A and B are shown apart, each in its own frame.
Chain A
Amino acid sequence: MKSGQASPAAAIGQIKRNWGLYLLLLPAVVLTLLFAYKPMYGVLIAFKNYSPALGIDGSPWAGFKYFDKFFNSYQFSNTIKNTLIISVYSLITFPIPIILALMVNQMRPNRFRRFFQTVSYMPHFISTVVMVGLMMILLSPSTGLVGNLYSLFGGEAPDLMGSTSLFSSVYVWSDVWQHVGWDSIIFIAALSSVDPSLYEAATVDGASRWNKVRYIDIPMLMPTAITLLILRVGGLLGVGFEKVYLMQNDLNITSSEILSTYVYKIGLLSSQYSFSSAINLFNTVINFILLIMVNQLSKKLSENSLW
């Protein structure tokens, strides 16, 4: 009898015996149904002329009207371009936490290493609001640290928070500053699981430290890195709302309006529910397709995949 190929009767027996486990699952299942799956049904309003009085089911169908409206609006190419610029730019910084992890792994396990790690995680705990507030203060050309630095060397500081051309750089590099230490944890973990006898064997063979990094550490990190990379690409159009929204101002708006902030403004600030949902759905679908494509590709190339 193979236990893997359980018959329905055996399955029912198993469910009866393990009813406690289903009880443990119940809260999470109920909450997910109510707050994740029920809104999925609400996605229908993207294809309807939603009116609150009529409800989702009662509202008349609109077909692809709101998708057309979005594709033909001047915000279409602009928001997509901005979203892509920011997310591809962030993607390029993906190896930085890996480099940091390789470095930490080379440090002897002593006080310096512990201090280094503690400090490098620290900025991760700053909230987005405080982070953007910090950036406004420090990057201010008149009163901030950057302004002071420039005037120390007799230069004129650029207005980093109010620049359209520098918006993506400010966004991405401040993100690297804040999260690089934290993001490296997972790679440090992967490195800590390397069998020490590999290093010993390499030492006997006369490998230098650099060789060990190159031929042991980096290959060991690849599966983790690829998995995370797939997830990142799957969220390519999903650049976080929070930080961009807080960083937006009248000066940088042409390069800081991204899909998620646009969805928020159209939907909640000007109450065009159907239009906003259509933009959101477009965004989700593209991400989903990207995720599947990248996963497929990675399966072929490296036998790493999410499912």
Chain B
Amino acid sequence: MGVLEPAASKRTGKIKNNRSSDSVMEIIMYVIAILFLIILIYPLYFIVIASFSDPSAVAGGKVWLFPSGFTLDGYQELLRHKNIWIGYRNTILYTVVGTAIGLVVNISAAYALSRKDLAGRKILSLFFIFTMFFNGGLIPTFLTIRDFHMYDTFLVMVLPFSVGVYNIIVARTFFQTSLPGDLWEAAQIDGCGNLRYFLQIVLPLSKAIIAVLGLWIAVGYWNSYFNALIYLKNPNMYPLQLILRNILITNQMQSGMGSGEAAQIALRLANMMRYSVIIIATVPIMCVYPFVQKYFNQGVMIGAVKE
């Protein structure tokens, strides 16, 4: 014992030393973390308070922490814009149907590919993965869609791009790592076929990955404008994002033109509307994701890390 003591005390001494450098590191880390939080949150917070503020106060730099000259004019102006509500409806429709299709297609394919006893598994995987790195490109895809008479239809918004290879890979890995192979063997002995096993045993055990993929796909549909820009002609079918683009980005140039009092008022209203339109377009998706967030750990993480 006596021989060991000096060494032990040396060691505790060292640990103590490290403790102080550790707490310095901790303080620095939390300071950085808080600064980082401010940089992330403040612009978002600013948009929220600006949407409730008098636009001249915003432009004059009087809005920093609280709304100034409280008003709901921006939101009222929004209510009058029919396009936005049509876009809202369309987006909800595309998101719900597209997400349903996407989940069915990707989850079932991923499960099949996760099974080691699937003959031709390697080739089938390559068949999908190849499309991640090589594709026809914009024009050939456009021509294909037109050949199928899908241009300007509901279908083009929900079907052609529903296979997500990355999603399949993540889900496949999830199935491989979280479903014990014995389970399938046991089910097989009990006379259970592949389809029944998939529907009654695999799916109920895979809520985490279903939630995560569902969120990814839904966010993708909710936020996309490119397909609509290319494949839709009828403004009544435009999704919200395309209409937002007209309000937020394209119109910017037009509203800047002209002068006089009427133009000034129009410009003010347009500016206010921009703040409120950002809020109403973003809040729904922001509300959903914290509920799914808890699954990230179980779902994505297992799925994404290995392979």
Cβ of A62 under 8 Å from chain B = no
Query: Which A residues lie within 8 Å of B124 (CB)?
Result: 25, 29
Cβ of B4 under 8 Å from chain A = no
| Residue interface bits A265-279, CB-to-B below 8 A is 1, else 0 | 001100001001100
Contact of B144 among A38, A119, A208 (CB under 8 A): A38
Of the listed stretches B32-40, B66-74, B75-83, chain A binds B32-40
Cβ of A241 under 8 Å from chain B = yes
Provide the bound-state CA to CA distance between A193 and B44, in Å.
33
Contact of A136 among B43, B193, B249 (CB under 8 A): B249
Query: Which A residues lie within 8 Å of B92 (CB)?
Result: none
Query: Which A residues lie within 8 Å of B162 (CB)?
Result: 31
A28 touches B108 (CB 8 A): yes
Q: CB within 8 Å of A: which of B137-154?
A: 137-145, 148
Cβ of A207 under 8 Å from chain B = yes
Nearest residue (CB) in A for B197 is A20
Cβ of A142 under 8 Å from chain B = yes
Provide the bound-state CA to CA distance between A116 and B304, in Å.
22
B223 touches A128 (CB 8 A): yes
Cβ of B207 under 8 Å from chain A = no
Contact of B241 among A22, A127, A280 (CB under 8 A): A127
Cβ of A287 under 8 Å from chain B = yes
Cβ of B201 under 8 Å from chain A = no
B137 touches A277 (CB 8 A): yes
Given A15-B119, A186-B305, A207-B18, answer yes or no on A45-B163 (Cβ-Cβ < 8 Å). no
Query: Which A residues lie within 8 Å of B304 (CB)?
Result: 185-186, 189
A28 touches B106 (CB 8 A): yes
Query: Which A residues lie within 8 Å of B85 (CB)?
Result: none
Given A103-B32, A107-B33, A121-B293, answer yes or no on A43-B137 (Cβ-Cβ < 8 Å). yes
A264 touches B138 (CB 8 A): yes
Contact of B282 among A14, A130, A192 (CB under 8 A): A130
Given A42-B143, A121-B293, answer yes or no on A127-B109 (Cβ-Cβ < 8 Å). no
Nearest residue (CB) in A for B278 is A130
B58 touches A143 (CB 8 A): yes
Q: CB within 8 Å of A: which of B284-307?
A: 285-286, 289-290, 293, 296-297, 300-302, 304-305
> How many residues on A have C-beta within 8 angstroms of the other chain's C-beta atoms?
96
A133 touches B249 (CB 8 A): yes
Provide the bound-state CA to CA distance between A125 and B29, in Å.
26
Query: Which A residues lie within 8 Å of B143 (CB)?
Result: 39, 42, 45, 56, 273
Cβ of A258 under 8 Å from chain B = no
Cβ of B230 under 8 Å from chain A = yes
B105 touches A31 (CB 8 A): yes
Of the listed stretches A76-84, A86-94, A145-153, A163-171, chain B binds A145-153
Contact of B194 among A21, A42, A121, A151 (CB under 8 A): A21
A31 touches B160 (CB 8 A): yes
Given A125-B282, A133-B248, A145-B46, answer yes or no on A284-B198 (Cβ-Cβ < 8 Å). no
| Residue interface bits A237-281, CB-to-B below 8 A is 1, else 0 | 000011000100100000000000001100110000100110011
| Residue interface bits A169-205, CB-to-B below 8 A is 1, else 0 | 0000000010001000110111011000000000100
A29 touches B127 (CB 8 A): yes
B109 touches A27 (CB 8 A): yes
A32 touches B163 (CB 8 A): yes
A28 touches B41 (CB 8 A): no
B193 touches A25 (CB 8 A): no
Cβ of B269 under 8 Å from chain A = no
Query: Which B residues lie within 8 Å of A130 (CB)?
Result: 241, 244, 248, 278, 281-282
Cβ of A234 under 8 Å from chain B = yes
Contact of A267 among B139, B195, B244, B253 (CB under 8 A): B139
Q: Which 10 pairs from chain A and chain B are nearest by CB?
A: A39-B136, A42-B140, A20-B194, A133-B248, A189-B301, A127-B223, A280-B137, A148-B61, A28-B109, A24-B108
Give the interface of B toward A (CB within 8 A): 11, 14-15, 18, 21-22, 25-26, 29-30, 32-33, 36-37, 39-41, 43-44, 46-47, 58-59, 61, 104-106, 108-109, 111-113, 115, 117-120, 124, 127-128, 131, 133-145, 148, 159-163, 168, 193-195, 198, 219, 222-226, 230, 241-242, 244-245, 248-249, 252-253, 271, 274-275, 277-278, 281-282, 285-286, 289-290, 293, 296-297, 300-302, 304-305
Q: Assuming A28-B108, A121-B289, what are 4 further A-B pairs, CB within 8 angstroms?
A: A21-B194, A125-B289, A133-B248, A277-B138
Give the interface of A toward B (CB within 8 A): 6, 11, 14-15, 18-25, 27-29, 31-32, 34-43, 45, 56, 100, 103, 106-107, 112, 116-123, 125-130, 132-134, 136-138, 142-143, 145, 147-148, 151-152, 177, 181, 185-186, 188-190, 192-193, 203, 206-210, 224, 234, 241-242, 246, 249, 263-264, 267-268, 273, 276-277, 280-281, 283-284, 287-288, 291
Q: What are 10 contact pairs spanning A and B, CB under 8 A? A: A11-B120, A45-B140, A106-B26, A112-B33, A116-B37, A119-B37, A133-B248, A148-B61, A181-B40, A263-B137
